[in-house]
Amino acid sequence: MKYQTAYCLITGVWIVPILISIPSAYFASETMYPHSGTDPTTHKVFCAQIWPVDKQAYYRSYFLFVFAVEFVAPVIIMAMCYAQISRELWFKNVPGFQTEQIRKRLRCRRKTVMVLIGILTAYILCWAPYYGFTILRDFHPTLISRQKNSLVAFYIIECIAMSNSMINTFCFVSVKNNTVKYLRKIVLLRWRSTYAPNKTVDEMDIRTSSMPVTEEIECIHLR
């Protein structure tokens, strides 16, 4: 990829979402309502997008556009790209004799395919409830308004959607063999240094020293 192409892509990644979010920012407002507690003078502030009643067709069209651009299109594009990548990595054999190194490369390839499938599945499972709730809210608001805990349900669904970033990070880290291996070593060493019985201070110093024990003994003899 050329630098000009990369600059255009990075700029587009920032500019396009800003343009799409302008209507949401314009119609976002705060509404105060009395709190149902013991003190009648206390109020709560509710922040949300409040569109005028006469613009019903506009906000329905807007959210359908957001649904198509942010969910349907990415799912279709990722499915097509991942299918092509999976076909190349899973079914294409490595030339040469089937040595242990070649078999290891094939296992790494197939592991990458499984990670891609997991990323796409996690994206659909995390964001589908969010957009489903949004469409239900905009086209059938009476069904949600009748539910007592509809706002709590929306916050839970939104948390599930936002957790997709954490799941993606876990998937990308898990595909790196060294990351899991070194993390396991760190946990094991930490457990041994904390819970290993009958370890004297001298033994702990020798074990944690960067110099091997044999080299340390030789240094003592030289002295």
Per-residue pLDDT tens for 118-163? 889 999 999 999 999 988 888 887 777 666 777 788 889 999 999 9
49: part of which helix (H) or strand (E)? strand 43-49
Q: What are the φ and ψ backbone dihedral angles of 24, each rounded to 5 degrees?
A: -65, -40
Pick the CATH number of 55-175 from 3.30.750.24, 3.40.630.30, 1.10.3720.10, 1.20.1070.10: 1.20.1070.10
Least confident of 43-47, 117-121, 185-189, 202-206: 202-206
Q: How far apart are CA 10 and CA 6, in angstroms?
A: 6
φ, ψ for residue 219, nearest 5 deg: -65, -35
Residue 123, classed as helix, strand or coil, is helix
Locate CATH 1.20.1070.10 in the chain: 55-175
What's the CA dihedral at 123, 126, 127, 132 to 10 degrees? Answer: 140
Residue 2 to residue 154: CA distance in whole angstroms: 43
d(Cα 94, Cα 147) in Å, to the nearest integer? 57
Task: Tell me what pLDDT residue 154 has.
Answer: 86
